[in-house]
Amino acid sequence: MDVHRLGRANLGAVHGLPMYRFFGESLVTFNVHIDNARNVASNMRLFEASGMGACLLTDGGVGMQDYFEPDKEVVLYGTPAEAVEKARWLLDNPEKAREIGEAGFRRTLREHTFEKRIPLLESFLRG
């Protein structure tokens, strides 16, 4: 979506600690993978938003089930219309959104920290 179409909802660019604070204060965080991801669940937003406790609404991708349990730890959408429908449902059901956000937060801290991921990267690089 073009920035100009967001109007007053556009808060501008947020980076660093303010970005994490923003995620931590958000009920729902929207994620979409770029075309270069080639339909593979792989961007940092998965872990940034969930690691701050926001309910993550994401387009999924190959391998998502290796990171999170759909509809328990994150919410997946397949089309733009489904994304809008699920976003509305989450905003209308904040207790469920918070429950999913909390589950995603626990999973991220349990399995997706640098402490857990760097050894996997190292073993991959060593071949």
CATH code assigned at 73: 3.40.50.2000
Token readout for 119 is 């050894």
**Under DSSP, is residue 29 helix (H, G, I), strand (E, B) or coil?**
strand
Residue 43 counted as domain residue: yes
| Separation of alpha carbons 18 and 35, rounded Å | 27
Span 65-83, pLDDT tens digits: 989 999 999 999 999 999 9
Tell whether 122 is covered by a domain.
Answer: yes
Asked, for residue 104, whether it belongs to a domain, the answer is: yes
In-domain check, residue 44? yes
CB atoms within 10 A of CB 70: 12
Q: What is the model's pLDDT at position 4?
A: 47
d(CA 32, CA 99): 22
Q: What is the mean pLDDT of the chain?
A: 87
Q: What is the pLDDT of residues 107-126, one digit of tens each?
A: 999 999 888 888 888 887 88
Rounded CA separation 50/108 (Å): 7
Domain span at residue 57?
A: 17-126
Mean pLDDT of 15-23: 92
- 116 domain-assigned: yes
Asked whether residue 36 is domain-assigned, the answer is yes
With a cut of 80, say whether residue 2 has pLDDT above it. no
